[in-house]
Chains A and B, each alone.
Chain A
């Protein structure tokens, strides 16, 4: 019954987004303190011989890992936001809003601040695979802990605005705990942690990129496998149950995949806000659907494009400075939230 016009429209939109993605990807690699012309980027990526060796090094060792990190973060954060919005039936639910990012930060802070002198993020990263896993697991566990708390609270709070306030407060409490911890920690550890909180797509290289990629992929697959269940949850828990969804199991699956996505990305890239609110909202209006089968890949595409563009903007073309990614996403994302609230004028109506 789906009119073929909508289908072809959707195909066009997908193609356009994909082109945009390629463009943003190459732009992200080309721009930076050292500007590399796009044709050279193309030649290096396609491994033509005889390229400028310093450019080759920059592209291979710095720019490509960073661009891939942006792709991973864009996909993971958008899809985790989409899932939370469906679970809480709230268009403004997102990991950074409901305190899940703060939970991941607590996990990371625990590793960074409690480990003493040797365990700074830098040394953990240098520890290689075991250190990367440590910080990933800490981030995911922290995220899962807060997510669980928020889900339990959401059982008693039916009102969307109240739910958001409770989530923000849980996040504030978590951040306060970290602040207390910082207060009693050595200055050099605190500095390291503070740098991490600005968020960065750079610095995830080699084995870390594989670990981040693997965990995010696991989260995305889990999410895609539950897309049918997520569709049913759009009608609320009672209807979902009457259609055969085991509510308890659904919640556990969503908590798991959200924690994997938000936790691992936060652990490696720092807290990156607002992507999780803005992207699902864009996906819903661009693809004009509520079906998660389409929205999840759609969110991955749009999230990737947006994340790459944020990174490009962060390069401040023509300047040597790189702005922290968290600042850019907040500058773009916060107005998007205001726009959602104003255009709906009532966030209890979802969709």
Chain B
């Protein structure tokens, strides 16, 4: 069945966990999915939908409850030999690294584990790949620091470098951007995107960063509670409405036009607003936060006067001018 082009392919895979009493609990599946070389796939889904379970099952950390996984010709689920699998899949997990005495370099060097001899001695090739992995992730400058002294963002990059040093065609990452600040999140996503393109690795990552995933992923896997998985290129899933359904929750609106989620408190009041440029975009955001549904009808407008922005609002009492956005919001709030 394997086309030979896929790095990973499943047939009717069921993921979940065994329960001590009673039957197994199936969280995802049956799934028939595949990962191709050079592809960055983001696995999205609400909390508790089973992203980690699916990832762990694909990576061979826990047994599948049914179906088959074929990783470059290697089948057999949990019984696949770790030593063989280690040259095919590398992982970045959410497990904390508690050993703070390890240096960055020696942790990244552990990625060479499947290739080194019984004592783990590094040869020239190993050193070159470790140096490359540290260069790619931008951690070379602190290679001698202890893991315990790193920030969350730094240690996440170190774990990524370790996975890179493992030099596998497939990479799987469980929430690699959790606990990171926005610039680091974007950096990691960019890096993974670049890696997929330049090294032809197949990269699968689970994440909660919907907007980042929409921008960076070649394909999205949307896992819903109940085990259904929808896949496709991000834009397609937005256009056909799948994206909206998966994350449909009270109080959240997905804006198909901008690809972003909005908060709203229900019971929308309509407000007319028009304008162009940066100021108009952020005005719209502010109005939405205030609980308005912004329409194109006449009402308010923002215009540029010189190097300043002025908001002009029509009301029963006539035309009102505001030079600060906060003043406008205050006035709207007071009726």
A binds B: yes
Q: Assess whether A228 is in contact with B95, with CB atoms less than 8 Å apart.
A: no
Contact A244 B82, CB 8 Å, known A238-B61, A239-B95: yes
Given known A-B contacts A232-B110, A232-B113, A235-B110, A244 and B86 have beta carbons under 8 A apart: yes
Q: State whether B59 touches A284 (Cβ < 8 A).
A: no
Nearest neighbor of A242 in chain B, beta-carbon distance:
B91
- Kindly state the separation between the CA atoms of A151 and B130 in the bound complex, as whole angstroms: 34
Distance between B27 CB and nearest chain A CB, rounded to angstroms: 18
Q: Which residues of A contact B85 (CB under 8 A)?
A: 242, 244
Prevailing SS type, chain A contact patch: loop
Question: Per-position contact with A for B85-120: 1 when CB-CB < 8 Å, else 0?
Answer: 111011101011111111101110011011010111
Nearest A-chain residue to B140, judged by Cβ: A1
On chain B, the residues within 8 Å of A291 by CB distance are 106
Interface membership of A57, Cβ < 8 A: no
Q: Number of B interface residues, CB 8 Å?
A: 42
Q: Would you list 27 pairs from A and B whose C-beta atoms are within 8 A, ordered by A residue?
A: A1-B131, A1-B143, A3-B144, A231-B110, A234-B97, A235-B95, A235-B97, A236-B98, A239-B91, A239-B93, A239-B95, A242-B60, A242-B82, A243-B86, A243-B114, A244-B83, A244-B84, A244-B85, A244-B86, A246-B83, A288-B101, A290-B103, A291-B106, A293-B120, A350-B98, A350-B99, A350-B100
Q: Is residue B256 within 8 Å, beta carbon to beta carbon, of the partner chain?
A: no
CA distance A22 to B130 in the complex (A): 40
Q: Which 6 A-B pairs have the closest CB atoms?
A: A244-B86, A351-B101, A228-B120, A243-B113, A351-B99, A244-B83
Separation of A225 and B119 alpha carbons in the complex (Å)? 7
A349 CB within 8 Å of chain B? yes
Query: Are B82 and A349 neighbours in the complex by a CB distance under 8 Å?
Result: no
B120 touches A227 (CB 8 A): yes
Question: A238 and B116: CB pair below 8 A?
Answer: no
Nearest A residue to B61 via CB reads A238
Closest to B127 in A: A1
Question: Least Cβ distance of A285 to chain B in Å?
Answer: 8
Give A245's nearest chain B residue, CB to CB: B82
State whether the Cβ of B148 lies closer than 8 Å to any Cβ in chain A. yes
Known: A225-B118, A290-B101. 13 other contacts (CB 8 A): A1-B131, A89-B99, A228-B120, A231-B113, A236-B98, A238-B95, A242-B61, A243-B82, A244-B84, A244-B114, A289-B106, A290-B103, A293-B119
